[in-house]
Structure 1
């Protein structure tokens, strides 16, 4: 009898033994199987076969079906899955489940049925280049098919913006025909050794040329590059020309971006440049769309895959390069469930695939800078803006004693008026959506609160509601104060909705575009906003951090930051780093074309050392100061850290559990410091009382050895079953 050791989609951090069907032959690790689990059937993964088991034979259940002949993940990705689950102290079965599209974990075949192939006929191959000059869509289709003599599937043609009507027209003229494959073996994965560019490459300045030469002439194999360039320095053009070099060798490229909002514009720019399939992978796609893109990448039919954090697990038939744009961005860290960091997982994957990886940012994380200084990463710098654009002039506006109208001082409004009068655009950055963050009673001072959280719900006006941005609960605003009965209830503070309304009234003849999660909720709304912003003429852009990441607004010459003080006194030790990155990134939206830019930073702390150094000496100098402070305090990246979270409906259970754990660690793990337990910064969220225990070690290995013992202790401890607990390795937020 052959025993299958399976990883199942379960929070339990151990495998499960099942009987395998007889006569099936030895199966490779990584194939999917269907197995009974409790009262349901689940899709699991074969870890290995064995002739022995610790489970009584009579209790062994049988595998219902083996779904694959070959593993779903290639050897490098399989090793990545094992490493990621182990490093982040997560259940392997659940990690594997989250690495693949939903339909794959529901049992869909790894490969779709073979599609027809479109190829040029002999007549089409012999056609002169100007033979279709009066039919531009047919000409574009003919050019693409001519560049891919082995043929293209209809799915690939759609990815290359070739319509079915254009293909049918070529077929009617005898220039192309559709071949029906009879077996899967007739499907050959295309490569792009003679890649033609749909758009010409831009000319590079000296710094860009040096960076590109270093990337393209480096020895083959694993290497981590940090491409640090000021905002507007042309990092993307360096990516594009390096990617062209990789594609010409027939290899594939994976590009990660931090936000879904950046994906459409990045995909559009890459599709405009390259004559190869460019696919997107992100949570905004349907399950079927994600599966189709995943299959094309796995089978080698996609030349470039662009996606958000989870795309780091996308299989590639011929991987050649990985690019992580805005590598510093917090969005690359998964904050719930499987708490991996997309950037760090990408570096490990590049090592396993033995390919180079490029980390790009104007404001690299302190971890990345520390790795570059230690020689583990190779650093390339772009210190000047591309195309002759100049860095914006930054001015701090002292708010002390000034009158604010909807969060803006008189100097900011005057600067906006002058900018709009010149026909230019203004960007106002406020990282707080909604109409107002607080609703209060003007008579007695009562403030509306969330019934389930230690937080104040935000007032929204379209539609009118109080919404907690932490637990999602909503309610209608009260008509009278519950404490004193007064009807004088007022909004306090300013959110993007209120600011956009006020600016629309003050600048009645100027379009105001609000860009936040509320205004871009519907499908296609973000693209519509970007199209409207690209129109010539004056405009005001009001938005959250969605506007601060990687966008190119050539007509924006003034950036106003109404509130910069929040990060100066953050309880999180990463607060100053996040603030510096945010200020630099937002400031970088100004003056990216030939027009000079100005940035106005409103603050009550104009003499604060961080602001002074950031705006006078730049991000690098500020980052070095923050690194020195971290070293003095023994905080990451100098040390390693993990955060244990525990929560329950009543506060006693998580407090007692973490207290016992902290006592045990202090007794038995001298190389690991245990700080706490302490209440979470938001002690109650969604009706749960939350406690934290922070673990720190000067070295990574003792911390992970201790955490392995912690997990074993928690899984065996009856008290732990009364709470919901989790482990966050390398936490990026302590909230």
Structure 2
């Protein structure tokens, strides 16, 4: 007699099919087994799911289809992994199939039995990991204390360590201690961005050997990702390094989870299931009995408050390795500088002195391209995007106007498209223009060997091609660069030993933003940028962080001068509590995209009108529908509605009850909608 199976598949977004589908199998299959099943006219990958004893049996007249096959050789996905997926799907209001199948390698969906068997043979052998002790530096006292606390309690732990305090070595030793105690254990180490993965991977490979370490991130080819995933799933890989997608890696013997730079917004997924990898890492640690370490020099206010209330155990590492001092912060009042000066004369002089001494400087401007806008001096024309409510950025290097939202690109016009005026000029400044301007300002400055100043720009435009980022970073590390110009890509995690001066240009836009999280992000970014200076203890005393601002009296800069994150966090948390903002309240956004703004807001208003009477609604405040900050992208109008509650549980009950209502609404012109739980931008 055939066995009935509950199978989850990647159902389309907003499908009314949100739970497992029923299929038949000649043999009983364990939950977690990967199978191929017919779905409509296609054959898709599915996961045998745990049967719900309370679920009603399928109708007697339903013609249940048999499964098409089983992926032989791949062990069933563990129960803890399935519980993680189930929790993420429920909390973030998505279907289990969408979450589960997005976490699996794409190649699993199309390989036949012979191809899969060939891939399985390439998985590294299951060998015990051993640390290469000779390559391990001696620990400082604060590192030893942090490790001792990690070993003494369950956590979760918040490792609050200054930039350059040796957090990475603590991660390495924590992994080493784990594998020495339990040779079969596995560790997961998450980083916020792909460009931080190679250097971290080289450290772990040098310490533990290449056969023990695999990476999981979107920069891998499909065959690489499948091979690494299989090695982790089989237990052959003891250490998995990954970006946010790594939180869903199948690790049957997971005992340690590290989330480096835990404050970084990149851990929040912005498409599909909008999950927070950091928050899921904490949940997964509790689920599997694994130790969780969240590390940062500038923790998120949510994590900091959890430490204040005792939910996380806080570990402090305030001192830099080698007794090196944190850079001196100098705030430059641009109100007292020459008009239209891009770099203040004192900053320019300080850079020239360092170049003459053979030291490096870094200029941080979080805006790529040559200029954010190209404008006509005779009429009101600006380089707006015809498909978005945003301007196209002027890129001088290839003479294009490029929209950073939809990608629409055109050659720069010879004259104004409206009035024919030939005098069209760039407004504002991006990293490309800054690089050019620096070349002009530093033309007369000479290096110790008498050579001209060498300037390198690192941003999303200069690192598009494979291997270019690694090559540029090698130039910086090798001393072949005098001035590094970059966006936030260069402010995180890099161990630049020769940089003694870091300057932040034009950071003021975040000071008075409508986004209540903007000051938190700015402070973290400036602290991280400052941390790139003076990492060599011999040069630490002379290292400086310069901040050019039109608002030098702002309290954020007072805390930055003292490198006092605790004071900044206390002030921000006090303001948040008074305003009833997270982490003292819980939020979710309902976002809608439609052909017109009216259709998008009509859907949101209909959803709001249907909300009273739903479970938990009495504890939830629904605000009016409003256009999003960038209202139109690629000719699609966007709007959002905020739901807020002082109770996380009440908000979750309400969202669950609201979901079928949203699925039932059929607004003409609506393209798609999504619920974003714990949004980063409101």
Given that 1:516 and 1:546 are in contact with CA atoms closer than 8 Å, whether structure 2 keeps it comes out as yes
Distance in 1, Cα, partners of 2:527 & 2:348? 22
2:186 matched to which residue of 1?
252
2:274 matched to which residue of 1?
339
Distance apart, 1:7 and its partner CA: 1.6
Residues 382-426 of structure 1 show CA distances to partners (whole Å, capped at 9, x for unaligned) of: 111111211100011011153366732222211111111111000
Distance apart, 1:537 and its partner CA: 6.0
Distance in 2, Cα, partners of 1:673 & 1:99? 33
Distance apart, 1:717 and its partner CA: 2.0
1:399 matched to which residue of 2?
334
2:9 matched to which residue of 1?
8
Q: 2:473 aligns with which of 518, 525, 530?
A: 530
Given that 1:665 and 1:672 are in contact with CA atoms closer than 8 Å, whether structure 2 keeps it comes out as no
1:626 matched to which residue of 2?
572
1:41 matched to which residue of 2?
43
Mapping of residues 496-511 of structure 1, within 5 Å: 496-508=431-443, 509-511=452-454
Distance apart, 1:105 and its partner CA: 3.4
> Structure 2, unaligned stretches of length 5 or more?
444-451
Residues 165-208 of structure 1 show CA distances to partners (whole Å, capped at 9, x for unaligned) of: xxxxxxxxxxxxxxxxxxxxxx7x2223xx24164321222211
1:702 matched to which residue of 2?
650
Q: 2:202 aligns with which of 268, 273, 294?
A: 268
Distance in 2, Cα, partners of 1:671 & 1:479? 58
Largest Rg, 1 or 2 = 1
Given that 1:429 and 1:542 are in contact with CA atoms closer than 8 Å, whether structure 2 keeps it comes out as yes
1:300 matched to which residue of 2?
235
Q: 1:563 aligns with which of 500, 506, 510?
A: 506
Mapping of residues 286-685 of structure 1, within 5 Å: 286-403=221-338, 407-508=342-443, 509-536=452-479, 539-593=482-536, 594-596=538-540, 597-616=543-562, 618-665=564-611, 668=614, 669-685=617-633
SS of the residue corresponding to residue 569 of structure 1 reads coil
1:78 matched to which residue of 2?
82
Distance in 2, Cα, partners of 1:91 & 1:720? 24
Q: How many positions carry a matched residue from both structures?
A: 660
2:34 matched to which residue of 1?
32
Distance in 1, Cα, partners of 2:89 & 2:21? 19
Structure 1 ranges of 4+ moved more than 4 A: 48-52, 68-71, 107-116, 153-156
Residues 53-107 of structure 1 show CA distances to partners (whole Å, capped at 9, x for unaligned) of: 4445354333322335875421111110111111100121111111111112335
Distance apart, 1:494 and its partner CA: 0.9
SS of the residue corresponding to residue 448 of structure 1 reads coil
2:64 matched to which residue of 1?
60
Distance in 2, Cα, partners of 1:456 & 1:661? 32
2:100 matched to which residue of 1?
96
Change (3 A) 1:260 1:16: closer
Matched, 1:278 2:226: no
Distance apart, 1:524 and its partner CA: 0.7
SS of the residue corresponding to residue 665 of structure 1 reads coil
Distance in 1, Cα, partners of 2:583 & 2:114? 40
Mean alpha-carbon deviation: is it higher for 226-235 or for 508-517? 508-517
Given that 2:370 and 2:430 are in contact with CA atoms closer than 8 Å, whether structure 1 keeps it comes out as yes
Residues 506-563 of structure 1 show CA distances to partners (whole Å, capped at 9, x for unaligned) of: 3341111111111111111111011100123661111011101111111000001111
Residues 27-66 of structure 1 show CA distances to partners (whole Å, capped at 9, x for unaligned) of: 2222222222222221122224689644453543333223
Change (3 A) 1:533 1:59: same
Residues 467-522 of structure 1 show CA distances to partners (whole Å, capped at 9, x for unaligned) of: 11111111122222122220111111111111112223333411111111111111
Distance in 2, Cα, partners of 1:289 & 1:671? 47
Given that 1:392 and 1:598 are in contact with CA atoms closer than 8 Å, whether structure 2 keeps it comes out as yes
Cα RMSD (Å) of the superposition? 2.3
Change (3 A) 1:199 1:464: farther
Mean alpha-carbon deviation: is it higher for 688-697 or for 65-74? 65-74
Residues 217-255 of structure 1 show CA distances to partners (whole Å, capped at 9, x for unaligned) of: x25xx5211110111111111111111101212122111
Given that 2:216 and 2:246 are in contact with CA atoms closer than 8 Å, whether structure 1 keeps it comes out as yes
Change (3 A) 1:502 1:256: same
Mapping of residues 161-200 of structure 1, within 5 Å: 189-192=126-129, 195-197=130-132, 199-200=134-135
Change (3 A) 1:513 1:6: same
Given that 1:404 and 1:410 are in contact with CA atoms closer than 8 Å, whether structure 2 keeps it comes out as no
Given that 1:199 and 1:274 are in contact with CA atoms closer than 8 Å, whether structure 2 keeps it comes out as no
> Structure 1, unaligned stretches of length 5 or more?
117-152, 157-186
